[in-house]
C-alpha cells in the first residue's frame, strides 16, 4: 500500500453493535480504534475466539473512545497475541477499563470452573477467554491522554479526544492523516442527561464513522423517570418488590440520582 493511501478495516461492530474494532492503516502505521469484545448471543461470543484478521504484533497503537466492555474487552487478548504498543484514552476511561477488564477476567475464570465442574461445555477442559494474568500484562500499556489536545503519532498522523457524553471519560476521536480528517464517534451521549454534559460536535470531517445502536428506532418523548415512577407506584400499591438489575457501567448511579 502506498504511504499516502488510507485503509480502514472493520474488525467488529459491523452488522452487530458489539466488538468495536476499527483498524486504520496509513503512512506506515496501524492504528486500532477501540478493542472490544463481542457480546450477546452465543454465535457472537464465539467470534471472540477467532483470530483477528491482522496480526496483533503489527498494530502500533490503540485509541479507546470509552471503557465499556464492547470497546475494551478484547485488549488482554490483543496483548497476549503480541501487541506491544500503547493503549491510549482519557484518565477516567483507563481507570474504568481496569475495573471492567478485571471483572471480565474474574467472570470468565469462574464460568470456566463451573463448566468443568458440571460438564456442560464440549471443551475438555473449558478455558476462560483470558484471566487476571492477561489483564495484569495489559495495564502497563495504558497511557493517559488529555481532552482537546492534538497528539502526534508520526509527522503525518495526529489525533485528539473530544468529549462525547455517554459515560464518564467517553470521547469521539478526530484522526488527522495528511490533509484528511476522519472522525470515529464512539458511543454518543444524549443532549439531555441528568449527570453528564451534552456531547461536543466535530467541526468538520472528511469521513465520519458513527454508531447506530438506536438507528432503527426512536426513544420515547416521555422522560424515562415518568415510566419508572409509574412502575414503582404500581408495584408499591400491590405490596410488591422491585428488582432493578444494573447490567452496564453507569446505570446504577443514574438510577440512584
Q: Which residues, other chains included, contact 231 with Cβ-Cβ below 8 Å and sequence gap of 6+?
A: 242
Q: Over the stretch 108-137, which tens digit does the pLDDT of each residue have?
A: 999 999 989 888 887 789 899 999 999 999
Range of the domain at 62: 7-209
Question: Are the C-beta atoms of 91 and 142 separated by less than 8 Å?
Answer: no
- The DSSP symbol for 56 reads G
| Claim to verify: residue 27 and residue 150 sit in the same structural domain | yes
How much is the pLDDT for 3? 61
Last residue of a domain, one of 186, 209, 232: 209
Of 150, 122, 125, the residue nearest 42 (C-alpha): 122
Which residue did the predictor score with more confidence, 158 or 220? 158
- Of the candidate ranges 20-34, 35-49, 91-105, the one whose mean pLDDT is the lowest: 35-49
Same domain for 234 and 198, yes or no, is: no
Same domain, residue pair 176 and 240: no
pLDDT greater than 60 at residue 2: no
For 134-185, how does the pLDDT look when each residue is reduced to its tens digit (9 = 90+)? 999 999 999 999 999 999 999 999 999 999 999 999 999 999 999 999 999 9
**How many CA atoms, within 13 angstroms, populate the side-chain half-sphere of residue 21?**
22
CATH of residue 54: 3.60.15.10
The model's pLDDT over 35-50, given as tens digits with 9 standing for 90+, comes to: 999 998 888 888 999 9
Amino acid at each position: 500500500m502506498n504511504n499516502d493511501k488510507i485503509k480502514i478495516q472493520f474488525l467488529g461492530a459491523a452488522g452487530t453493535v458489539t466488538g468495536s474494532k476499527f483498524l486504520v492503516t496509513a503512512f506506515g502505521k496501524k492504528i486500532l480504534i477501540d478493542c472490544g469484545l463481542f457480546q450477546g448471543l452465543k454465535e457472537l461470543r464465539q467470534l471472540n475466539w477467532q483470530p483477528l484478521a491482522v496480526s496483533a504484533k503489527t498494530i502500533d497503537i490503540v485509541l479507546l473512545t470509552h471503557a465499556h466492555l464492547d470497546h475494551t474487552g478484547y485488549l488482554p487478548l490483543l496483548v497476549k497475541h503480541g501487541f506491544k504498543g500503547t493503549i491510549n484514552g482519557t484518565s477516567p476511561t483507563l481507570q474504568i477499563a481496569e475495573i471492567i477488564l478485571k471483572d471480565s477476567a474474574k467472570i470468565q475464570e469462574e464460568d470456566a470452573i463451573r463448566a468443568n465442574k458440571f460438564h456442560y461445555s464440549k471443551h475438555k477442559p473449558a478455558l476462560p477467554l483470558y484471566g487476571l494474568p492477561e489483564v495484569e500484562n495489559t495495564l502497563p500499556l495504558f497511557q493517559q491522554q488529555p481532552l482537546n489536545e492534538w497528539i502526534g503519532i508520526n509527522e503525518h498522523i495526529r489525533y485528539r479526544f473530544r468529549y462525547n457524553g455517554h459515560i464518564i471519560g467517553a470521547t469521539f476521536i478526530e484522526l488527522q492523516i495528511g490533509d484528511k480528517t476522519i472522525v470515529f464517534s464512539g458511543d454518543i451521549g444524549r443532549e439531555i442527561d441528568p449527570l453528564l454534559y451534552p456531547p461536543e460536535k466535530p467541526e468538520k470531517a472528511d469521513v465520519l464513522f458513527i454508531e447506530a445502536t438506536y438507528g432503527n428506532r426512536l426513544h420515547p418523548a416521555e422522560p424515562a423517570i415518568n415510566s419508572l415512577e409509574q412502575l414503582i407506584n404500581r408495584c408499591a400499591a400491590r405490596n410488591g418488590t422491585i428488582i432493578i438489575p444494573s447490567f452496564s457501567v453507569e446505570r446504577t448511579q443514574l438510577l440512584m440520582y
